């Protein structure tokens, strides 16, 4: 999870310009915030529920309702990793990285990890406050960044906004 954050940090700061340095640290702190929630969610699951299996957490949540705290922490981590609003600024700043590596890491790999986690958590979020918040964040991200994408003239920004928009739609569906 965090290896992608470190790789992103290094790639964004590759050119060592002032903008690149600013953007790489923004990407790092935003993704580390999600990484912290991810680690706390895992630790809570191990201590309280005595399991490290995501499927055990989901099945426990769907049968008894126990585990809302780790589900919420993991969902928050997924929202930061998948660049949902208000955490999308790190992905927009990542466009200063070299184009081929930026496209591969940021648009094709890194942000999909968060969406994948949300999809795995979807059965546990059904009918909960966490699920409602994920729907709200994903839906708002989809609408806002769709409109921003069609108003751009820079190709990298169109790619970034359209990626975030599509991820927002998937996120909203996972919350539903």
> Confidence band (pLDDT; 50, 70, 90) for 170?
very high
CA distance 149 to 135: 21
CB 62 within 8 A of CB 55: no
Kindly tell me the burial class for residue 36, based on how many C-beta atoms sit within 10 Å of its own C-beta (0-12, 13-18, 19 or more).
middle
Which DSSP string corresponds to 36-54?
HHHHHHHHHHHHHH----H
Question: Has residue 147 got a pLDDT over 90?
Answer: yes
Residue 125's contacts (CB-CB under 8 Å, 6 or more residues apart) are 71, 75, 118, 131, 134, 174, 175
- Look at residue 134 in the predicted model and tell me its pLDDT: 94
For residue range 98-137, list pLDDT tens digits in order: 766 666 665 666 778 889 999 998 998 888 898 999 999 9
Positive or negative: CA dihedral 110, 113, 73, 131: positive
What's the whole-number mean pLDDT along residues 4-9? 80
Closest to 20 measured CA to CA, from 102, 81, 86: 102
What's the whole-number mean pLDDT along residues 152-173? 87
CB 45 within 8 A of CB 51: yes
> Confidence band (pLDDT; 50, 70, 90) for 155?
confident
CA distance 1 to 125: 21
Whole-model pTM: value is: 0.85
CB count within 10 Å of CB 9 equals: 22
What's the whole-number mean pLDDT along residues 136-163? 89
For residue range 29-87, list pLDDT tens digits in order: 888 888 899 999 889 888 888 888 888 888 877 666 677 888 899 999 999 888 888 88
Quickly list H helices, 50-67.
54-64
- Look at residue 105 in the predicted model and tell me its pLDDT: 63
């Amino acid at each position: 999870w965090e290896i992608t954050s470190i790789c992103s940090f290094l790639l964004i700061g590759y050119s060592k310009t002032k903008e690149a340095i600013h953007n790489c640290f923004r990407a790092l702190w935003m993704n580390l915030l999600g990484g912290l929630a991810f680690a706390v969610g895992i630790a809570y699951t191990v201590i309280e529920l005595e399991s490290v299996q995501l499927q055990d957490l989901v099945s426990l949540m769907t049968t008894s309702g126990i585990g809302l705290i780790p589900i919420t922490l993991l969902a928050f981590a997924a929202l930061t990793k998948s660049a949902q609003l208000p955490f999308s600024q790190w992905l927009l700043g990542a466009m200063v990285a070299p184009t081929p590596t930026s496209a591969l890491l940021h648009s094709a790999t890194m942000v999909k990890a968060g969406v994948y986690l949300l999809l795995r958590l979807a059965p546990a979020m059904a009918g909960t406050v966490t699920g409602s918040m994920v729907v709200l964040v994903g839906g708002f991200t989809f609408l806002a960044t769709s409109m921003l994408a069609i108003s751009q003239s820079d190709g990298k920004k169109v790619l970034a906004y359209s990626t975030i928009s599509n991820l927002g739609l998937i996120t909203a569906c996972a919350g539903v």
